[in-house]
Structure 1
Amino acid sequence: MPAAEVRGVVLEAGKIFDPVKEAETVGVRGMIPEEGGKALARHRLDDNCERQLSNAVNVAYSMSYTFHAMSSFFRRDDVALTGLGKFYIKRSTAEREDALDLSRYLLRRGGRVKLMGLCQPKMNYDEPSKGDALYAMELTVAMEKLQYEKYLALSKAAEEAKDMELQDYVCTKYLHPQVKLIKKHSEYVSQLRRVGKGQGTYLFDRVLKSKMK
């Protein structure tokens, strides 16, 4: 049986992979940088994917910050829609956990997380024609659709870089769940439109609170 050649390495007959020979041929220094400050774990992480991942971290933190503000509004004593207050603090916590998960993933890939400044969120959601609950929930659906676009851009960047691992991670952990969130919260918008302001919103809030116990 003739000798096999893998990545320029001539192997003995019957062998398909010699890790040491391959590593030596590729060059250990080429695979593992010796300079300080460079990531040893980085492998096939495209620069654009790194930027998009870092952006996704900042988007998730911004969403968490905004949902915290919305929760604070509905927990005010002159608003007293505590179900919505609880709903938004849970959404805030979930987004913060997403930001941490994205950060950990980026670091596992040998990337660098760059945190940006957060914009001060809107602090008053009272809208005379729609009411505060409906206005806030419509705003929530719009923000979640925009966040979906951010994750989609990250998935496209991974596809262009032929980074299948990153693409699978984004689709499984973020794109698919985001579609479910948009659907669920769109239903809340429809329900709030049906019940109207005042007592209808109050009853919606009570039901929402009971679902989160």
Structure 2
Amino acid sequence: MSTKWLTRLQILLTFFLIVSCFGALSMLFSTVVIAFVGTTNGTGVPLRVFDVPITGMAAPDAVIKSASADVTVLPSGPAPLVGLLFLLLWAPGVVTTLLALFTVVRALSRASAGDRALFSAVTAAHLRRLGWILIIGSLATGLLGVVAERMLASMLLSRSYPFYAPPGEVLAGVVAGVAMLAVSEIVRRGLALLEETEATI
């Protein structure tokens, strides 16, 4: 990959990072409104509802075994505890995404300025850092999300459930983090082998 394409990719990801920061600020503002102002419009608390009535929904030759739905709930007035739990519901994932994007942008910035581009010790360190960000951030997102959603459902819905499974993105984030650690180790060992070869020559 040439330096020109690395630079273009860095610019694109930097743009995504800036947009994501504005999105995070928007979510933070909505959380503050829910906690201290209360509103019937705007961003609400997303929750999952199971055992949705399915009578009459299936075709004559089909059977629906179960159904679930995503609902958006807004408290009728200021709700500080709801705001705090809502913050725990979305903030870990957003922070993980921002840190991951920032790390990738830094890695591309260093890579485009070096002689060996992506194949360097600095890039290996960035990949290792990215891997741990994805692993720890995804696990925190899943754990805090399960707890926060359970408490929010008990407060905002007439019926809640003892356990809400984390979304599939949590597992995907952990797998991606492990993959980044593996790639960083491959780059590190490749660099060590290259240095030994150059020293021998």
Which one has the largest radius of gyration? 1
